[in-house]
Amino acid sequence: MKIAVLHGPRDLRIEEHPLETSLQPHQIRVETRISALKIGTDRGNYEGAERVPGAPDYPRWVGDSNLGVVRETGTAVTRFKPGDRVISRYPHQSEYVADEHEIIVTVPDGVENEDAVWGHLYTLSAICYRKALFQPGENVAVVGLGVLGLGAVALGPCFGGRVAAIGNSPLRTEMALRMGAHITGLSDDPGLPALLEDFTQGQGIDLVILTANPWPALRTACRIVRENGRVAIVSLPGRGEPALDFNPLSMEWFYLKGISLIAVNGQCPALYPAIRGDRFSWENMCRHTLSLMADGRLEPKRLITHRMHYSQIAEAYEMIYRREKNMLGVIFNWQE
């Protein structure tokens, strides 16, 4: 089994590791077709930004968007059968063995591989809305237009939101329009508040979804949200950056505006808990994300800018290390 292993900052290698293929009753063996690169978090890991609590030490795996085909199943497996396409949060690796009860979701017919591979990442984008108790008709601004942010942009109209996409590059704002943003703006534009005031007809931005790590992005989020609005934070603010030059809880932006800062991590609130398990579990939400792809309402493959062989993984990570703005969606092909 081939796997991408990070041994230290900017030291990424493709290695051969053994894989136990004698399956236990509830195990499945999956052969990877493609995996996808999540630029923001993966770049922080690659360049050696400070460790996130709970993350593994070096040497460590990288990546968490994997699409493969089930090749074998254990004798007691009921959820999958050979030939099923599945998406998982397994790393960049050529195959894996997993328990059938892990968070692995079958891809429905009609969804292309290059859309489905983003299913788990887009589900995280969807959870940004759910955790912030989004209501249809609200005005949403997405700050940070990487793959995760553009996923939030694309999902907003599906959920009944009006979406403004805020980025730091015209290339990214152009992509946001392709993904369904109603308007776009640059974060350093002095006219941004007026643009959003006009977009919302004076109602203001109800919800900001923050997907960018740099401190100035947090400042922008707190500045543009309306009084008593919410900021859903799915990024890791300040990761790998020097200490703050401003107070993110300043009365000007936090107390006097009465805003809510919401960490998009852990369980989402359930207003009406289900009797039969968690109605909005990650797997159930991921199935809904895939259903939107099956209906043609979500097309993550529009984000793909690079298609590369798995042997070029280290090259791709060097490109994101250099912060090449023309690089967004990256797909690695694991077929020899």
List the Cα angle 297/302/303 in 5-degree steps. 120
- For residues 192-202, give the mean pLDDT: 96
CATH superfamily, domain at 2-118+301-333: Medium-chain alcohol dehydrogenases, catalytic domain (3.90.180.10)
Q: How confident is the model at residue 290 (pLDDT cuts 50, 70, 90)?
A: very high
Chain region(s) in the chain for CATH 3.40.50.720: 133-263
Give the pLDDT confidence score for residue 50 in this predicted structure: 61
Q: How far apart are CA 301 and CA 273, in angstroms?
A: 34
Tell me how far CA of residue 96 lies from CA of 3, 21, 93, in angstroms: 10, 9, 7
pTM for the model: 0.92
Task: Indicate the burial class of 312 (C-beta count within 10 angstroms; 0-12, 13-18, 19 or more).
Answer: middle
CATH 3.40.50.720 fits 133-263, yes or no: yes
Residue 131 to residue 263: CA distance in whole angstroms: 8
Which of the two residues, 251 and 134, has the higher pLDDT score? 134
- In the chain, CATH 3.90.180.10 sits at 2-118+301-333
**48/9 Cα distance (integer angstroms):** 5
What is the distance, to the nearest Å, from the Cα of residue 143 to the centroid of all Cα atoms in its chain? 14
DSSP readout, 91-112?
A: -SBSEEEEETTSS-EEPPTT--
Q: What is the pLDDT of residues 52-106, one digit of tens each?
A: 666 678 898 999 999 999 999 999 999 999 999 999 999 999 999 999 999 999 9
pLDDT mean across residues, the chain: 92
